[in-house]
Chains A and B, each alone.
Chain A
Amino acid sequence: EVQLVETGGGLVQPGRSLKLSCVASGFTFNNYWMSWTRQAPGKGLEWVASITNSGGSTYYPDSVKGRFTISRDNAQNTLYLQMNSLRSEDTATYYCTRGRGRYYFDYWGQGVMVTVSS
């Protein structure tokens, strides 16, 4: 059974940093692209970052480019999201997702809440 378990969320002040982790199990982690997607309270979904199966390439929307960094440790079956210079608009539930090819996300974690507030 595919499982994605996110940790690392919490309350953080604007301008500070936070690092999310996602431990994967039930599949061969290094065969899959992985991504982060977020959902602000009561709002829709926003893609945040993707990384190729080898970790050699990463992709971001302009809203987080230069502030967020996605990475992975294939030996530990773990995906990361380093978030710097956090803003109030980054407040959301962050989901770790597995790629179905490069085009879609087929499995989602339970999500972890990040609140950016003073």
Chain B
Amino acid sequence: DIQMTQSPASLSASLGETISIECRASEDIYSNLAWYQQKSGKSPQLLIYAANRLQDGVPSRFSGSGSGTQYSLKISGMQPEDEGDYFCLQGSKFPYTFGAGTKLELK
């Protein structure tokens, strides 16, 4: 199975700060990576797919990058509504696997 190592586990950011979350795959996943945001008590929402494609309706302050085994999600200018948990997903090979998650809080 492909292991997805996500870091950091938690993050505290100030209003307007730019932050990054990383996911490292145990093998090449050929950019078949998505990022999700999950707010407390809610279902996950797709932010980014194919490593760097912004899902419709997602604010442009979210961006994704990476290739091979290394991927990152960047939030350019932290907003209060960005608080929540963030997960990466690899869809390159079955079984699909998720990163363990990053809890993002507003400082």
> A residues engaging B (CB < 8 A)?
44-47, 50, 59-62, 95, 100, 102-111
Contacts and interface: CB of A to CB of B under 8 A. Distances in A.
Contacts, number: 58
B45 A108 contact: yes
SS class of chain B's interface: helix, strand, loop or mixed? loop
B92 A47 contact: no
26 contacts: A44-B100, A45-B36, A45-B98, A45-B101, A47-B95, A47-B97, A47-B98, A50-B96, A59-B95, A60-B95, A61-B94, A61-B95, A62-B95, A95-B43, A100-B46, A103-B32, A103-B92, A104-B46, A104-B49, A104-B50, A104-B89, A105-B34, A105-B89, A106-B49, A108-B43, A110-B43
Contacts of B97: 47
A100 B36 CA distance: 13
